[in-house]
């Protein structure tokens, strides 16, 4: 059999959330109400027919919304995050069903590993309405240190399953942020990223090693 190095082009969609806990209200989450896209490139090195390492560089956009009440009601609150990350996952791929001895067939695999994310751009819009006031706030999260409501750096773990159809990979994944990215604003005690999604990879082999 032959295995080698694979350059991949990735695109996918994810459903993200920001798991948040505050001192003055019950725990609440900001959730995706539209499709978040991510895309980028990867490099997979296959050590043998059972194991490979795949680092990647991804551009990841996340729109996260929290609402309390209804805009038509007397009391209403909305916070809308628009976050863009440069994400670097380094995943191990464990092939449960390897390629057959003839070099043909599909492969099923389990993937797991750490990731690091750097915030590139982040905005926050807050709408609040009560009988005595109605406010609209705009915050540039990472450009102005006084508005640094979320930390730019995040890291965590990603795990999932995938299937390979020759040069195309389909992966279902779950990412769990391990970093508390809250930056002591609005009585927020903690905030952690979460995401589930689907990634499609088109791969091109660049080198082969025989085993």
pLDDT of residue 2: 46
Residue 116 has pLDDT above 90, yes or no: yes
Residue 18 has pLDDT above 80, yes or no: yes
The pTM is what?
Answer: 0.82
Does residue 144 sit within a domain?
no
**How big, in percent rounded to 5, are the helix, strand and coil portions of the chain?**
0, 75, 25
Does residue 140 sit within a domain?
no
SS3 readout for 52-100: EEEEEEEEEEEEEEEEEECCCCCCEEEEEEEEEEEEEEEEEEEEEECCC
> Could you tell me the pLDDT band of residue 69, with boundaries at 50, 70 and 90?
confident
Residue 180 has pLDDT above 80, yes or no: yes
pLDDT of residue 114: 98
Cβ atoms within 10 Å of 187's Cβ, excluding its own: 11
How many domains is the chain built from? 1
Rank 77-81, 194-198, 207-211 by mean pLDDT and report only the highest. Answer: 194-198
CATH number, domain with residue 7: 2.40.160.20
Does residue 129 sit within a domain?
no
Does residue 172 sit within a domain?
yes
Does residue 75 sit within a domain?
no
């Amino acid at each position: 059999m032959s295995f080698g190095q694979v350059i991949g082009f990735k695109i996918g969609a994810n459903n993200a959330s920001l798991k948040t806990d505050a001192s003055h209200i019950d725990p609440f989450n900001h959730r995706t109400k539209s499709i978040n896209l991510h895309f980028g490139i990867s490099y997979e090195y296959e050590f043998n027919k059972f194991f490979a390492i795949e680092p990647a560089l991804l551009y990841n956009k996340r729109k996260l919304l929290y609402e309390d009440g209804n805009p038509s009601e007397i009391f209403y609150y909305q916070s809308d995050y628009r976050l863009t990350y440069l994400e670097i996952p380094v995943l191990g791929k464990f092939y449960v069903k390897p390629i057959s001895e003839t070099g043909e067939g599909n492969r099923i695999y389990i993937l797991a590993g750490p990731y690091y994310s750097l915030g590139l751009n982040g905005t926050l819009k807050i709408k609040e309405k009560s009988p005595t006031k109605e406010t609209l706030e705009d915050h540039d999260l990472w450009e102005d240190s006084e508005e640094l409501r979320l930390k730019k750096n995040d890291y965590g773990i990603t795990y999932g399953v995938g299937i390979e159809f020759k040069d195309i990979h389909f992966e279902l994944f779950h990412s769990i942020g391990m970093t508390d990215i809250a930056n002591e604003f609005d009585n927020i005690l903690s905030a952690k990223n979460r995401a589930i999604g689907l990634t499609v990879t088109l791969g091109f082999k660049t080198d082969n090693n025989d085993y």
